[in-house]
Amino acid sequence: MPTSALSVERVLTDARSAVVPALRAAVNGLSAPMRRLAEYHFGWSDQQGAHIEDTGKGARPTLTLLACEAVGGEFEQAVPAAVAIELVHNASLLHDDVLDRDRLRRHRPAIWAVAGVPEAILLGDALFFLGVRTLAEAPAPLASTGVKWLVTAAQRLVEGEHADLTLEERDDFSLAEVTAMAHAKSGVLLAEACAIGALAGGADADRIDHLRAYGAHLGQAGQLTDDLLGIWGDPAVTGKPRLADLQARKKSLPVAAALTADNAAARELADLYRGPSDPGQLQRVADLVEAAGGRAWAVEEARRHARTALEHLRAAVPASRAAEALTLLAHRVADRTR
Amino acid sequence: MPTSALSVERVLTDARSAVVPALRAAVNGLSAPMRRLAEYHFGWSDQQGAHIEDTGKGARPTLTLLACEAVGGEFEQAVPAAVAIELVHNASLLHDDVLDRDRLRRHRPAIWAVAGVPEAILLGDALFFLGVRTLAEAPAPLASTGVKWLVTAAQRLVEGEHADLTLEERDDFSLAEVTAMAHAKSGVLLAEACAIGALAGGADADRIDHLRAYGAHLGQAGQLTDDLLGIWGDPAVTGKPRLADLQARKKSLPVAAALTADNAAARELADLYRGPSDPGQLQRVADLVEAAGGRAWAVEEARRHARTALEHLRAAVPASRAAEALTLLAHRVADRTR
């Protein structure tokens, strides 16, 4: 039953509308001073505490609700799971920004930059526990199996962040290792967002596994696209300073592919990347990543992961408005410009 | 059935022996680089990774096992809970040391001081999730009710840390507020250590509540004693630099009691505490805390909380070797010198 583009946009909007009030209700469960910090972080208030319009993407909670509906459930069965995953995701962003000293989050100063590192660490911790608690207080199987999946995924996410931290200081690495790290950092939580949504909707193990694989491949496609935009995206559109990843000497996926290629550009890139970071040479670094084949590889890999995501989706669920929306998301993730 | 001092020591040793192998097994579930960090943090290896003898106190897991046995259960039923609580407690210590810039933990350099702030943040995060996961993978009711209690307590703990952070910058506070903050920071997790242990042992709601109250009052007695030792303890015994709390202008419980007293010493103390921290005046500050009545208040409060803890213990459980050990712990906490 194919549906029109209009109704796909509608289901995405509906999913988002179903999550935000529940997310706000969960955040209201924090102590008053922590709630004020959280409201700023989520983009619901400005630094003075005044209300502003919510503009977040909320990719993960949307996936959770759509996975639930795609297997025959109702949005509301998956709302606690969607909220839990969004809280854990945002907790990891808060800590991530401290680790990377990223001053911007969603086009605004990060919490650590406005309120301090201790506040960012504690708000992250509080959102971690609030997230798990939201799921633990939901009916079974979310409270039992769902909690297990969520905390296991969160642990792998943290281990991925840690691997990334140590990778920056190492010359000896394989592309497989960097890919596994990227999966841990951005694929695992998306995979569980889909799996737990399907669990909430009453799916059997086989369909859950296919939806988990859909989420994992979507996550890899998204990370590849993010990495590409970090080098060749328009800063006015992405909201992030151009070439910042290269300046920080990050081993993003296109860079890792270029560094592990066997050609002259790869060798020149490796020499430059080992030296001190020179803002005047960042464009040259970007050009070498492309010349070594890193850009083409990442573009092709993003497409391949999006295709594989769709194969798993088709294996998991029949055509429906939710399945159509999940299809659209997989197409978008490999083609997006922001 | 009173038991000899010897057999009480024996049950405490037995409890500790039951937890450590399970704690090590849980830590083995981390990625290899994070496991190495964790082994250093727990005091199982030195900075070069060489094995050293474990000397930790492990108060929380011991309480969990004793509470389980005191209500008629076996240690092994409560082991996953004891491990989970010890992991969450250590996660909070790791983050706490970053917040306070405390360079020493258990007489050794803290993780952030040897490996960096990012490593300490991520190891804390990983132990949080590993802790919750350990409980979520245990049989019911630990996986269901136990997880809920643990993450709720952990959230309150974080909120307490946050309140403490903001309290340091404020002049307008009440003793009740500081007491509530201290309870959140150190009473809540001890309370749940006992409650979850009793839950694992199959206790009914009434006995669980009494054991939770036992843990909460034990925690308050312990915090008061810690604060007293931070000012009047022997640094050679406590392992912490003398008067460090006063130098950091902490509103510890004796200080808060002194500052909110209505006498000349309190007013002189308030003036000194508002000014810049002068190492040469710390002894004068300590003397003023005592003269204002803060020391006597804290000593009496510690004894009162220990007594109240014992009343709840007696209401919860019949005499047994575990009850005797819990009694001994309550006596010790108000009288300890380290």
Tell me what pLDDT residue B1 has.
Answer: 43
- How do strand B104-105 and strand A108-109 relate by DSSP bridges? unpaired
Phi and psi (nearest 5°) for B104?
Answer: -115, 140
Query: What is the rounded radius of gyration, in angstroms, for the C-alpha atoms of chain B?
Result: 20
Per-residue pLDDT tens over the stretch A307-328: 999 999 999 999 999 999 999 9
Which CATH number goes with the domain that contains B247?
Answer: 1.10.600.10
Q: Check CB contact under 8 Å for A158 and B122.
A: yes
B41 has a pLDDT exceeding 70: yes
Q: Name the region of A243 (left: φ>0; alpha: ψ -120 to 50; beta: rest).
A: left
Q: Check CB contact under 8 Å for B165 and A132.
A: no
> Could you tell me the CA-to-CA distances from A208 to A145, A211, B102 in Å, in that order?
12, 5, 45
Give B40-49's long-range contacts (Cβ < 8 A, gap of 24+): B40/B111, B40/B114, B41/B90, B41/B94, B41/B105, B41/B111, B41/B123, B42/B90, B43/B106, B43/B108, B47/B109, B47/B114
Q: What mean pLDDT is reported for chain A?
A: 90
Residue B218 burial (10 A CB sphere; 0-12, 13-18, 19+)? buried
Per-residue pLDDT tens over the stretch A91-104: 999 999 899 887 77
| Residue from B267, B161, B182 nearest B224 by CA | B182
Out of B140, B147, B159, closest to residue A136 by CB: B147
Contact (Cβ atoms closer than 8 angstroms) between residue B266 and residue B329: no
Q: Name the region of A202 (left: φ>0; alpha: ψ -120 to 50; beta: rest).
A: left
B27 has a pLDDT exceeding 90: yes
Residues linked to residue A51 through DSSP beta bridges, in sequence order = A45
Half-sphere exposure of A73 (CA within 13 A, CB side): 22
Q: How far is B256 from chain A (nearest CA, A)?
A: 21
> Could you tell me the CA-to-CA distances from A206 to A146, A149, A162, A305, A308 in Å, in that order?
16, 16, 31, 20, 16
Contact (Cβ atoms closer than 8 angstroms) between residue A297 and residue A47: no
A5 has a pLDDT exceeding 70: no
Q: How far is A180 from chain B (nearest CA, A)?
A: 13
Contact (Cβ atoms closer than 8 angstroms) between residue B184 and residue B156: yes
Range of the domain at B195: 5-335
Q: Check CB contact under 8 Å for A155 and B130.
A: yes
Residues linked to residue A105 through DSSP beta bridges, in sequence order = A108
pLDDT band (50, 70, 90) for residue A56: low
Q: Check CB contact under 8 Å for B122 and A98.
A: no
Task: Provide the token pair at A143.
Answer: 């409270």
What totals of helices (H) and strands (E) does chain B contain, helices first? 17, 2
Out of A92, A132, A158, closest to residue B151 by CB: A132
Task: Provide the token pair at A172.
Answer: 């000896």
Per-residue pLDDT tens over the stretch B249-266: 888 999 999 999 999 999
CA distance B260 to A297: 67
Contact (Cβ atoms closer than 8 angstroms) between residue B207 and residue B71: yes
Q: Check CB contact under 8 Å for A148 and B158.
A: no
Per-residue pLDDT tens over the stretch A245-257: 888 888 899 999 9
Per-residue pLDDT tens over the stretch A267-281: 999 998 887 777 888
B56 has a pLDDT exceeding 60: no
Per-residue pLDDT tens over the stretch B131-165: 999 999 999 899 999 999 999 999 999 999 999 88
pLDDT band (50, 70, 90) for residue B37: very high
> Could you tell me the CA-to-CA distances from A14 to A62, A73, B230 in Å, in that order?
9, 15, 56
DSSP string, B120-171: HHHHHHHHHHHHHHHHHTSPTTIIIIIHHHHHHHHHHHHHHHHHHHHHTT-S
Q: How far is B91 from chain A (nearest CA, A)?
A: 10
B187 has a pLDDT exceeding 70: yes
For a pLDDT cut of 70, what percent of chain B falls above it?
96
Chain B contact set for A126 (CB, 8 A): 155, 158-159, 162
Contact (Cβ atoms closer than 8 angstroms) between residue A230 and residue A240: yes
Q: Check CB contact under 8 Å for B121 and A99.
A: yes
Tell me what pLDDT residue A1 has.
Answer: 43
Q: Check CB contact under 8 Å for A118 and B133.
A: no
Q: How far is B121 from chain A (nearest CA, A)?
A: 7
B179 has a pLDDT exceeding 50: yes
The residue-averaged pLDDT of B23-45 equals: 92
Lowest mean pLDDT among A58-72, A122-136, B40-54, B268-282: B40-54
Tell me what pLDDT residue B43 has.
Answer: 86
Q: Write down the ipTM of this complex.
A: 0.90
Lowest mean pLDDT among A57-71, A275-289, B197-211, B233-247: B233-247
Contacts of A155 (CB under 8 A, 6+ apart): B30, B126, B129, B130, B133
CA distance B225 to B239: 15
At CA B322, angle to CA B319 and CA B323, rounded to 5?
40
DSSP annotation of B187 reads I
Query: CA nearest B126 in A: which residue?
Result: A155
Tell me what pLDDT residue B338 has.
Answer: 59
Q: How far is A148 from chain B (nearest CA, A)?
A: 6
Q: How far is B117 from chain A (nearest CA, A)?
A: 8
CA distance A200 to A135: 11
Contacts of B90 (CB under 8 A, 6+ apart): B41, B42, B127
Per-residue pLDDT tens over the stretch A70-80: 999 999 999 99
Q: What mean pLDDT is reported for chain B?
A: 90
Contact (Cβ atoms closer than 8 angstroms) between residue A156 and residue A184: yes
B54 has a pLDDT exceeding 80: no
Chain B contact set for A124 (CB, 8 A): 125
| Residue from B321, B327, B295, B90 nearest B218 by CA | B327
Half-sphere exposure of B16 (CA within 13 A, CB side): 13
**What is the total count of domains within chain A?**
1
3-state SS, one letter per residue, for chain A: CCCCHHHHHHHHHHHHHHHHHHHHHHHCCCCHHHHHHHHHHCCCECCCCCECCCCCCCHHHHHHHHHHHHCCCCHHHHHHHHHHHHHHHHHHHHHHHHHHCCCEECCEECHHHHHCHHHHHHHHHHHHHHHHHHHHCCCCCHHHHHHHHHHHHHHHHHHHHHHHHHHCCCCCCCHHHHHHHHHHHHHHHHHHHHHHHHHHCCCCHHHHHHHHHHHHHHHHHHHHHHHHHHHHCCHHHHCCCCCHHHHCCCCCHHHHHHHCCCCHHHHHHHHHHHCCCCHHHHHHHHHHHHHCCHHHHHHHHHHHHHHHHHHHHHHHCCCCHHHHHHHHHHHHHHHCCC
pLDDT band (50, 70, 90) for residue B337: low
At CA B85, angle to CA B83 and CA B87, rounded to 5?
70
Q: Check CB contact under 8 Å for B147 and A147.
A: yes
Using the Cα atoms of residue B51, residue B52, residue B55 and residue B56 in order, give the sign of their dihedral: negative
Per-residue pLDDT tens over the stretch A109-138: 888 888 889 999 999 999 999 999 999 999
Place of tokens 């712990």: B329
Task: Provide the token pair at B123.
Answer: 């190891």
Tell me what pLDDT residue A55 has.
Answer: 54
Tell me what pLDDT residue A89 has.
Answer: 95
Task: Provide the token pair at A251.
Answer: 């081993």
Chain A contact set for B168 (CB, 8 A): none
Q: Check CB contact under 8 Å for B126 and A155.
A: yes
Q: For chain B, list residues whose CB is within 8 angstroms of any CB belonging to chain A.
A: 30-31, 33-34, 92, 95, 98-99, 117-119, 121-126, 128-130, 132-133, 136-137, 140, 143-144, 147-148, 151-152, 154-155, 158-159, 161-163, 165-166
CA distance A165 to B33: 11
Chain B contact set for A159 (CB, 8 A): 30-31, 34, 126
Q: How far is B55 from chain A (nearest CA, A)?
A: 27
